[in-house]
Chain A
Amino acid sequence: MIYSSIGYYALIIGLAISLPIFFFSIINLRNNEILDIKIISFSFIQLLLVVISFLGLIVSFVLSDFSNETVFNNSHTTKPLFYKISGTWGNHEGSLLLWLLVLTLFIFVFLITSKNLLKNYRILTVLFQQIIIIGFFFFLLDSSNPFNQMFPIPNEGLGLNPILQDPALAIHPPILYLGYVGSSVIFSSVLAATSLNFISKTWAAHIKKWVLISWIFLTLGILLGSIWAYYELGWGGFWFWDPVENVSLMPWLALTTLLHCILVLEKRSTLKSWVIILSITTFTLSMSGTFLVRSGILNSVHTFASDPERGLFILSFLFILIFISLFVFFAFHKSDKKEIILFSLFSKETSILVNNWLMMYFLSVVLIGTTYPIFLDVISSEQISVGPPFYHKLIIPFLIPFLIFMAMGSQLRWIKSELNKKIYLIFFLIISFLISYLILKNFGNNHLINTVLIGSAFYLFLITIRDFLKEKKQNLSQNLSHFGFSMLILSILFNNIFSSEVITNLKVGETFKNEKFKIEFNDLKKFKEENYVSFKGYFLIEGNRSREKLEPELRVYNQPNIITSEADIKTTLLSDKFITINTVQNEEYFNVRYQIKPFMLWIWISVLLISLGGCVSLFRKKSL
């Protein structure tokens, strides 16, 4: 009770602190002294207050204080402590409070790490960030207050949706949000730098760190969500082109493009407009990601009960921010003609630019696929959904040039490259296509598109390996990420081509048999756990040369009363064996789905490698 009140009042005072920050910033902007220490102090106080508020909510969750409406809606006394805590951000109100926490944390970190930069640039960044922070304060206090009181006080809460009671999903939102909100600092900073005409090499070297941090967290956040979907949703896939997944992919694509542009800006002082527009785009996409997930506008398998009124607020807030940024862009950004630096067709710049356009194309495809159903619903009230074939058809063919440019770009120099030393590029390309052709022929899968695609991925794979061996530690970060990407594409392709599955309905004691597998359903046992009852199925699966014991589970949770399937997965280096069962009420039959998914482990490892590349770049003192 008392903790909720502390949290609530901390929020209100936190909002009030924005006033002195604004006041001192504007005064400080006019005079020529150094940065007013008061701005830093007040930013710290604001951060502290939001932390207190957040802790207040966590404590309310831990103590199961059901006088708090958020706790009542999302918690339950029998829930394990770990999920009581993670329940804090597993809901709309709590997750927004987390957004705000990261917003204030990041601007404070920004202030104390940017000491060597222009005073006015720092102040303006704080001001732009404050606009976002104030927006979120209002949003929290007005339409999604995490500290609403309930009276009379209920004895028991409604519980957290069981599929969210999972270790991966407990840390997924905070990590994803670090990525999302990191883009807010980039956004504020780019607006500040544009107004002061400070977009330069120095600025690029400084903001690169923020781009890297957000990018690493966003990558890891998406990875966690994907792993969770893989084992928890029980479909055996890792990406469904579901709207909620797409809204996290879109900022990632924009951010990745931005990262490459920042590198060009840092080295060559070009692509300024790209950088500005991409920074704005990334943040807008992150915000609308939150908006789309929370508003209930998107019809997705991940949509949880939601409230359209909140959506309206975020939407109007988003429009204000876009308006401000467009205004800043057109009013202050002058593309000075003198600075156009020519580069030839065979140069790093060209490759990066081509791939930027390709990534923008991927982004637009995902954007259209995600939002088109909304528009059509509004215009014609026709309800549709856009399936995976749409994305596959439009994205996969363009991955071929994308991979090839990615491989070649790293081998070319800035401005202009000598071609006669680059014969090995052609040589590698031919070898890659040969390997790909032989592999696919061997397995009797001979689609032209697969051959070319796998060939291009192998090309990138081999070129990066050559770099590892030849260039030693030069460009290590880029090499790691690009190597990871080639592995990701290869693993996904092999996973797609060589997966196999059996779906059948079995009673306990029955056996399924086809030419490939024999599946015995031997037993079903009941176990009592803390907040659910578990039914474990005992399966013996015999394939050619393999004998596997798998034990998938059905969990019946007490509150809310929901059944979930827990897959049993046997992971090896080369493939995953994946089994789920499900029951249908009043039926003796169990739904059984058994899948063999090759290279699953490598999909996760390659994404880790991609983000590891980012970490290397972040922690290296001198960039190359």
Chain B
Amino acid sequence: MYGPKVKLRFFFILLILSILTLTVFLVLKSLEENVVYFKSPSDVKLMTELKNKKIRIGGMVKKNSIAMSTNEVNFIITDFKNEINVIYSGVVPNLFSEGKGVVAEGFLKDRNFFQASKILAKHDENYMPPEVKAALK
């Protein structure tokens, strides 16, 4: 019915299409798994269920809330409506200080405690991360 050349071409197109679908599927799936959502402390309070997924929380470091010990840095992130306690063992960025914007990445222990694995640095003291700006609105 069809010549060998047509069959070969058909086979190739089929191969490429299936590879393409597979790749798209793979990319989308791992995107879904590895995306980190950004929340404000108020968002956290409104959450209906707490998932065991990595998230980011942004806001201001509350005044006089930083406490350090040998293993941990503890502080409170606030968006002036709600606040959340952060437990962190690691190095804080240079621009981390009270009354300044901060983004912490990690896991929620419950609605009030957040175990951070990373505190994000910003390079510019006058620069406010857009997400923090949004969270403070």
Contacts and interface: CB of A to CB of B under 8 A. Distances in A.
Interface of A: 161, 163, 233-234, 296, 299, 301-305, 361, 364-365, 368-369, 372, 382-387, 389-390, 393-394, 503-506, 512, 560-565, 580, 582, 584-587, 589, 591-593
Contacts of B33: 389-390, 393
Contacts of B26: 394
Which of B34, B71, B89, B91 lies at the interface centre, i.e. has the most chain A CB atoms within 10 A of its CB? B91
Given A304-B124, A582-B92, 10 more contacts: A304-B123, A382-B37, A383-B134, A384-B38, A394-B26, A503-B91, A505-B71, A563-B94, A584-B68, A587-B68
5 contacts: A369-B31, A562-B95, A584-B66, A584-B92, A593-B91
B125 interface: yes
A236 B35 CA distance: 24
Contact of A372 (B31, B71, B95): B31
A383 B127 contact: no
B126 interface: yes
B127 A591 contact: no
A592 B33 CA distance: 32
A301 B97 contact: no
B90 A503 contact: yes
Nearest to A372: B31
Nearest to B89: A503
Given A161-B123, A387-B36, A589 B69 contact: yes
A268 to B, nearest CB: 20
* Chain B interface extent, by class: 35 or more
Contacts of B45: none
B34 A580 contact: no
B94 A394 contact: no
B35 A361 contact: no
Contacts of B120: 301
B interface, by DSSP: helix, strand, loop or mixed? loop
A586 B71 CA distance: 17
Contacts of B37: 382-384
B111 interface: no
A620 to B, nearest CB: 37
Contacts of B92: 582, 584, 591
Contacts of A384: 35-38
A591 B96 CA distance: 12
Nearest to A585: B97
A593 B90 CA distance: 8
B62 interface: no
Contacts of A365: 27
A368 B124 contact: no
Contact of A368 (B27, B54, B56, B130): B27
Contacts of A234: 91
Contact of A505 (B56, B73, B122, B124): B73
Contact of A504 (B31, B71, B93): B71
Interface string B43-61: 0000000000010100000
B68 A582 contact: no
A390 B54 CA distance: 13
A592 B90 CA distance: 8
Enumerate the 9 nearest inter-chain pairs by beta-carbon distance, A residue then B residue, closest first: A383-B38, A390-B34, A589-B68, A591-B91, A593-B91, A389-B34, A587-B68, A384-B35, A563-B94
B31 A368 contact: yes
B121 A233 contact: yes
Contacts of A372: 31, 35
A299 B69 CA distance: 31
Interface string B111-137: 000000000111111110111001000
B97 A584 contact: yes
Contacts of B134: 383
Contact of A582 (B93, B98, B124): B93
B77 to A, nearest CB: 15
A161 B124 contact: yes
